[in-house]
Amino acid sequence: MTVKDHVAFAFGLLFSLVLLTSFAIGQPKKAAPTLLNGEAADWQVYRANNSSVSAIFPKVPVSAESNDMCNELAGESMTAYSDEVVYELSVFRKGSRMTYPCSNPMKFDARSFARSLVGRRRTGPTIVNEATNGNWSIKQLKWENPGSTRITYVFYDNTNFSWVEATMTFRDRSKVKETEFVSSVKFDKPLGKKIKNGSKAIVGDLLEPGKASDQEVKATDTSPPPPPISMKSSPSTDPDELVVVAKKVPGYTDMARQNQEKGTVVLRVIFQANGMVGKVAVQHGLAYGLTEASIAAAKQIAFLPARKNGHAISTIRTVEYSFTIY
């Protein structure tokens, strides 16, 4: 299927003119347990909590919500992993407004999408294709980095400036279920069950014989880990390096805020070859539940595993979460 066909197919689905037939879609299964061994792909329909937007995912996705009150921007996302591909569905709309002064407040308007890309460090994409159908526009954006490729289909409502993003991040495009994922996006039908809290962790694939386990990594990796993972870091120039795709920000607990607890939680994390986080060791913790919140967030990191000789391997990295009271 060509890019032009992808766009036409997605638009047809947007207006309920095409039915998805390439997958047998059922109802979401119960939340997957946090297993170090992962699960086989089982494509199901999942729906965002605050809208009727839905799509199919290979595993129970993790969920996240955000509210940038200084920019009146609310967002929610669902993220899952399968076969060295990270699938994301994100919904952005007008959110609440800050009740106290912001340093640079912005209204939710036609510029919100561009500002959002800047805030998420997703500037400079290649526009592969774009089209307009009534009040809706669709763009296919592409980012090429040394270690990964990201493709995002943006469904933009020109009337109220809200938008939906269907994103796939990968190394090998032949592994991406692009047509199935993008064409499954629905906007006006409450399909599937609401994601609610989602999975407690990114669920990886079943570990294959011969791939590194937690124990093997511990035994062979005695050198200090590389600098801490940060979503603000520039992409690595090593095409086989671990690629962090989505890193959830843990929130303050009420007790930590009441007691003015602040600082940085430092974790030593095993990023398994099957695409899910393994064991997490605390190198420096904080009180009042902040360490536990950081561990929970680390379990939900979506990433592409590091590779050696073209094969995914498990690696150890340091992950930091900073807590500051303004």
> For 165-197, what is each residue's pLDDT tens digit?
999 999 999 999 999 999 999 987 788 888 998
Statement: residue 149 has pLDDT above 90: yes
> Closest Cα to residue 199, out of 43, 41, 64?
64
Range ranked top by mean pLDDT from 33-37, 249-253, 266-270, 309-313? 266-270
pLDDT higher for 299 or 210?
Answer: 299
The angle subtended at Cα 157 by Cα 167 and Cα 134, nearest 5°, is 115
Mean pLDDT of the 142-168 span: 96
Q: Does 153 score more than 70 pLDDT? A: yes
Q: How far is CA 119 from CA 185, 231, 265, 280, in A?
A: 25, 11, 23, 29
> Quick one: pLDDT band at residue 16, thresholds 50, 70, 90?
very low
In this structure, is the dihedral angle defined by the CA atoms of residues 31, 80, 297 and 90, taken in order, positive or negative?
Answer: negative
Name the band, by pLDDT with cuts 50, 70 and 90, for residue 8. Answer: very low
Indicate the length of the chain as a whole number: 326
Output DSSP code: residue 70: T
Percent of the chain with pLDDT over 90: 65
Report the b/e string of 15-36 with b at 16+ CB within 10 A.
Answer: eeeeebeeeebeebeeebeeeb
Task: Quote helix, strand, coil % in the chain, to nearest 5.
Answer: 15, 35, 50
Can you tell me the distance from the alpha carbon of 212 to that of 21, in angstroms, rounded to the nearest whole number? 37
Q: What percent of the chain has pLDDT over 70?
A: 79
Distance CA 245, CA 202 (A): 12
The stretch 263-271 carries a mean pLDDT of: 96
pLDDT per residue over 64-94, tens digit each? Answer: 999 888 889 999 999 999 999 999 999 999 9
Per-residue pLDDT of 77-136, as tens digits, reads 999 999 999 999 999 999 987 766 788 889 999 999 999 999 898 999 999 999 998 899
The token duo for 210 is 């011969």
Taking residues 270-280, report their average pLDDT. 94
Let me know if 249 is exposed, middle or buried by CB neighbors in 10 A (0-12, 13-18, 19+): exposed
Phi (first) and psi of residue 89, to 5 degrees: -125, 120
| Model pLDDT, residue 239 | 85
| pLDDT for res 40 | 92
Q: How far is CA 263 from the centre of its chain?
A: 26
Q: What is the pLDDT of residue 223?
A: 57
The runs of H, that is alpha helices, within the chain are 3-14, 112-119, 178-183, 214-220, 254-258, 290-299
User: How far is residue 114 from each of residues 78, 232, 259, 295, measured CA to CA in Å?
Assistant: 21, 18, 38, 32
* Mean pLDDT value across the chain: 84
Q: Please report which confidence band the pLDDT of residue 238 belongs to, taking 50, 70 and 90 as the band edges.
A: confident
Tokens matching residue 192 = 């599937």
Residue 145 in tokens:
């980095």
